């Protein structure tokens, strides 16, 4: 369960203060695929950063699996991100000189899992997202955009996180590949019992998710 | 794959850049190792010279040069004051003159300071041979004639005659008696010691006779000596030479022995004060050694500054490279942090990358250092000592002189200049790269890499993973 209460974050730019997220509150149950839509500058990326513990909120709380992450120390935040969160980025952000399987194994290495275990898990996940054995040994530069995003999804799932945060997961993909990725995320949310929050411009995604929120000038509303 | 293997792999991410960095670092590390080797070799040479310094002091008449006349010579009575000084354990006095061979062209060739008196003649012919067309060039034979004169092509070198109170040595070089017996340096007898080559040249043996100053002398002993120039010298006792040459009581050089090296400096000062600077030039072996060491010390300083410079340059190179790499991989670092990488692990990965680059540079640097160590050291030493050599050869009167240092006395020839002898020994320097140097090189490379990575590590720690989201 993801529970957000009264979450506020503001940024200062000289004398100007911009409130990016205003008293946001919502709940998303486990295994739910939720989407947040909003135009550019509406605060959706800031909200995702707060949920992923990449930023600290000024006010409010975020509970993931019963743990308030808003007041974690820096060290605890790293541990939280490693064990409880999976990130999927619009630009995939795979490490270019590592193979697909090595990219998937990376978060498990940070979590301290033994090599054999992480190799087995990485193969399973890459197989689950549809990569062949040959593609698993390729570096990102030798994979298509859709394949790279599949690797990124497998990487996000590697430590069996409670929450996956996806920032425009289909933004760099054609519509057909984007649809396949969305279907994949739907399936994984159920099979891995993972909550997925996807930020998107793409209304076709938001129409297919279990819950949809709209954020406008930092204010979040369920649609 | 872990942090370290990823760091090593990242070092080869861009082949062209890696090659460039490794070559530049290799040159920097190679230069620092070369300088380190040079410094060690020079330090070893200085230690060798210092350990070989004898506890002797050379005394010669003030302003005396080997070919000047002996009208300013010291006297036995003046030197007796030196013998009685504290810490002086021995005093060897010598009077040296030159004799021309009867009937040779040398007898009609006038050398600066040479008396044309027919009494300074001998029946002996010097065994020393000269190549007058190649004089002053190689092999230690340096001959100069004052005023730019030239030697006749059929020139016969004169014979040196040295009267000394210590007939066991000649110009501080030990004589080895091969037949006959050594002379008593204090007796006044018409006996002489000649070299083996002199005996061979003149068909002489122990008991044979020859003439000098119009007096018949008997060969009492035949010796061998390491310095070829001394082969042309006849050794007699000091009173004999003083009597034969008509210079009773005169001495052209003396060597005082001091009881310990620690007293060398104080005794040198005491002798100077006793004899006065207008009477005698006093030079200790320590002073001579220090004069020789002076250019080596400058080489040592140059190599130290170059070493420090090269190490700093290496650290700056790796620092700038790592800063460039971190700036280039900001997003990647942000991603690593976002997916659970701690600052420590990411910094370790980058330090490993820096160490990999630096060790590769160190391997190239070690090759450069091992190959270039000796030539660069020799180049530095040669350049630094060349000015000293020039001064030795052409300074002062610049004419024919005899044996090295201040000793010389009035004898005529010297096949080597003393200073030149020492300098050539100094130039015989070799920089050897041992295991300690190799380990030092790798150790220094790792230190350079870690130091060079500190700024990069600071930048890594400051990168916020949220930036990755914002730059999407």
User: Residue A138: which pLDDT band, with cuts at 50, 70 and 90?
Assistant: very high
Tell me the torsion sign for CA atoms A73, A74, A75, A81.
Answer: positive
pLDDT higher than 60, residue B416: no
A172 close contact with B: CB closer than 8 A: no
Locate B459 and state its tokens: 């930048």
pLDDT in tens, B86-134: 999 999 999 988 888 887 755 444 444 444 444 588 999 888 776 554 4
B-chain CB neighbours of A166 within 8 Å are: none
Specify the pLDDT at position A152: 93
Q: Which domain holds residue A97?
A: 2-222
Specify the pLDDT at position B392: 37
Q: Chain B residue with minimal CA distance to A109?
A: B2
Specify the pLDDT at position B466: 83
Pair type for strands B209-212 and B215-224: antiparallel
Q: B388 φ, ψ to 5°?
A: -65, -45
Specify the pLDDT at position B130: 64
Q: Which residue has the higher pLDDT, B402 or A204?
A: A204
Specify the pLDDT at position B206: 93
DSSP character at residue B416: S
Specify the pLDDT at position B434: 76
User: Residue A62: which pLDDT band, with cuts at 50, 70 and 90?
Assistant: very high
Specify the pLDDT at position B131: 55
pLDDT in tens, B33-62: 888 888 888 888 888 877 777 788 989 888
Are A89 and B335 within 8 A, CB to CB? yes
Q: What is the average per-residue pLDDT within A148-165?
A: 92
Q: Report yes or no for ipTM above 0.85.
A: yes
B461 close contact with A: CB closer than 8 A: no
Q: What is the average per-residue pLDDT within B440-456?
A: 83
pLDDT in tens, B297-330: 888 888 888 888 888 888 888 889 999 999 999 9
Helix axes A115-128, A100-110, angle to 10 degrees: 130
Q: What is the average per-residue pLDDT within B345-357?
A: 91
Half-sphere exposure at residue A65, Cβ-oriented, CA atoms within 13 angstroms: 13
Locate A208 and state its tokens: 């297919």
pLDDT in tens, B200-218: 989 999 999 999 998 999 9
Specify the pLDDT at position B205: 93
Q: Which residue has the higher pLDDT, B386 or B287?
A: B287
Mean pLDDT across chain B, nearest whole number?
78
pLDDT higher than 90, residue A219: yes
Are A45 and B10 within 8 A, CB to CB? no
Locate B60 and state its tokens: 């010669």
Q: What is the average per-residue pLDDT within A26-40?
A: 90
Which of A216-220, B49-53, B342-346 is predicted with the least confidence, judged by mean pLDDT?
B49-53
Q: Chain A residue with minimal CA distance to B5?
A: A98
Q: Chain A residue with minimal CA distance to B7?
A: A97
pLDDT higher than 90, residue A58: yes
In chain A, how many domains are there? 1
Rounded distance between C-alpha atoms, residue A167 and residue A54, angstroms: 13
Q: What is the average per-residue pLDDT within B382-389?
A: 60
CB within 8 Å of B192: residues ≥ 6 apart: B161, B183, B210, B212, B217, B218, B219, B220, B234, B235, B236, B240
User: Residue A25: which pLDDT band, with cuts at 50, 70 and 90?
Assistant: very high
Specify the pLDDT at position B276: 87
Q: What is the average per-residue pLDDT within B21-42?
A: 87
B472 close contact with A: CB closer than 8 A: yes
pLDDT in tens, B233-280: 999 999 999 999 888 888 988 999 988 878 888 999 999 999 888 888
pLDDT higher than 50, residue B137: no
> Is 0.80 surpassed by the pTM of this model?
no
Are A54 and B470 within 8 A, CB to CB? no
Rounded distance between C-alpha atoms, residue B303 and residue A12, angstroms: 55
Most confident range (mean pLDDT) of A23-27, A173-177, B184-188, B373-377 is A23-27
DSSP letters spanning B188-255: --SEEEEEHHHHHHTT--TT-EEEETTEEEEEEEEEE-SSGGGGGEEEEEHHHHHHHHT-TTEESEEE
Strand partners, B254: B59, B93
Specify the pLDDT at position A166: 92
Most confident range (mean pLDDT) of A89-103, B143-157, B445-459 is A89-103
C-beta of residue A15 within 8 angstroms of C-beta of residue A177: no
Rounded distance between C-alpha atoms, residue B175 and residue B171, angstroms: 10
Most confident range (mean pLDDT) of B177-181, B224-228, B440-444 is B177-181
Locate B413 and state its tokens: 């020839």
Å between B328 CA and nearest CA of chain A: 13
Specify the pLDDT at position B65: 55
User: Any idea of the CA torsion for A203, A206, A207, A211, to the nearest 10 degrees?
Assistant: -160
Are A105 and B339 within 8 A, CB to CB? no
Locate A130 and state its tokens: 């549809």
Enumerate the domain spans of chain B.
Answer: 3-50+292-470, 63-278
H/E stretch holding B27: helix B15-51
**CATH number of the domain where residue A48 is located:** 3.40.50.300
Rounded distance between C-alpha atoms, residue B62 and residue B329, angstroms: 76
């Amino acid at each position: 369960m993801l529970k957000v209460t009264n979450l506020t974050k503001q940024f200062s730019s000289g004398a100007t203060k911009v409130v990016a997220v205003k008293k946001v509150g919502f709940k998303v149950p486990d295994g739910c695929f939720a989407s947040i839509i909003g135009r550019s500058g509406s605060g959706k990326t800031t909200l995702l950063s707060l949920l992923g513990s990449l930023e600290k909120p000024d006010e409010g709380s975020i509970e993931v699996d019963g743990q308030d992450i808003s007041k974690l120390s820096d060290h605890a935040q790293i541990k939280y991100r490693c064990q409880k969160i999976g990130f999927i980025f619009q630009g995939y952000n795979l490490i270019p000189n590592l193979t697909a399987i090595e990219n998937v194994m990376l978060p498990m290495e940070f979590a301290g899992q033994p090599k054999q275990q992480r190799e087995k898990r990485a193969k399973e996940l890459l197989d689950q997202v549809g990569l062949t054995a040959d593609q698993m040994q390729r570096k990102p530069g030798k994979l298509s955009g859709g394949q790279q995003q599949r690797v990124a999804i497998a990487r996000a799932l590697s430590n069996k996180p409670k929450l996956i945060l996806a920032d425009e997961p289909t933004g760099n993909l054609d519509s057909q590949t984007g649809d396949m990725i969305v279907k994949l995320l739907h399936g994984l949310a159920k099979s891995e019992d993972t909550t997925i929050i996807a930020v998107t411009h793409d209304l076709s995604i938001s129409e297919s998710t279990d819950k949809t929120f709209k954020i406008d000038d930092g204010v979040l509303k369920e649609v | 794959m872990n942090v370290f293997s990823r760091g090593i792999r990242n070092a080869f991410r861009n082949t062209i850049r890696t090659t460039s960095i490794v070559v530049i670092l290799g040159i920097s590390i190679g230069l620092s190792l070369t300088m380190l080797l040079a410094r060690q070799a020079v330090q070893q040479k200085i230690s060798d010279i210092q350990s070989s310094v004898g506890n002797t002091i050379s005394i010669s008449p003030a302003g005396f040069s080997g070919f000047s006349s002996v009208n300013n010579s010291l006297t036995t009575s003046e030197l007796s004051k030196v013998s009685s000084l504290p810490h002086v354990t021995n005093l060897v006095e010598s009077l040296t003159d030159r004799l021309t061979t009867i009937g040779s062209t040398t007898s009609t060739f006038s050398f600066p300071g040479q008396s044309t008196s027919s009494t300074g003649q001998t029946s002996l012919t010097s065994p020393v041979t000269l190549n007058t067309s190649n004089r002053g060039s190689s092999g230690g034979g340096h001959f100069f004639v004052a005023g730019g004169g030239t030697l006749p092509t059929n020139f016969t070198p004169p014979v040196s005659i040295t009267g000394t109170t210590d007939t066991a040595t000649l110009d501080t070089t030990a004589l080895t008696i091969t037949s006959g017996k050594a002379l008593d340096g204090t007796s006044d007898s018409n006996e002489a010691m000649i070299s083996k080559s002199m005996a061979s040249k003149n068909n002489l043996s122990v008991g044979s006779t020859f003439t000098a100053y119009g007096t018949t002398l008997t060969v009492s002993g035949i010796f061998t000596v390491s310095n070829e120039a001394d082969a042309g010298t006849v050794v007699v006792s000091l009173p004999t030479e003083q009597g034969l040459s008509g210079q009773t009581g005169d001495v052209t050089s003396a060597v005082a022995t001091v009881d310990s090296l620690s007293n060398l400096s104080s005794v040198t000062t005491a002798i100077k004060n006793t004899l006065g600077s207008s009477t005698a030039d006093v030079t200790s072996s320590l002073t001579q050694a220090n004069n020789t060491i002076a250019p080596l010390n400058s080489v040592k300083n140059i190599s130290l500054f170059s070493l420090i410079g090269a190490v700093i340059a290496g650290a700056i190179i790796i620092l700038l490279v790592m800063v460039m790499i971190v700036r280039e991989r900001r997003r990647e670092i942000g991603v690593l942090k976002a997916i659970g990488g701690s600052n420590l692990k990411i910094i370790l990965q980058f330090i490993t990358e820096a160490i990999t680059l630096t060790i590769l540079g160190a391997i190239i640097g070690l090759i450069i250092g091992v190959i270039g160590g000796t030539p660069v050291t020799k180049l530095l030493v040669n350049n630094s000592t060349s000015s000293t050599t020039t001064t030795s050869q052409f300074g002062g009167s610049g004419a024919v002189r005899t044996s090295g240092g201040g000793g010389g006395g009035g004898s005529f020839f010297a096949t080597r200049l003393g200073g030149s002898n020492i300098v050539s020994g100094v130039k015989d320097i070799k920089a050897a790269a041992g295991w300690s140097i190799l380990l030092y090189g790798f150790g220094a490379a790792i230190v350079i890499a870690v130091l060079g990575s500190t700024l990069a590590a600071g930048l890594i720690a400051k990168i916020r993973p949220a930036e990755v989201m914002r730059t999407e």
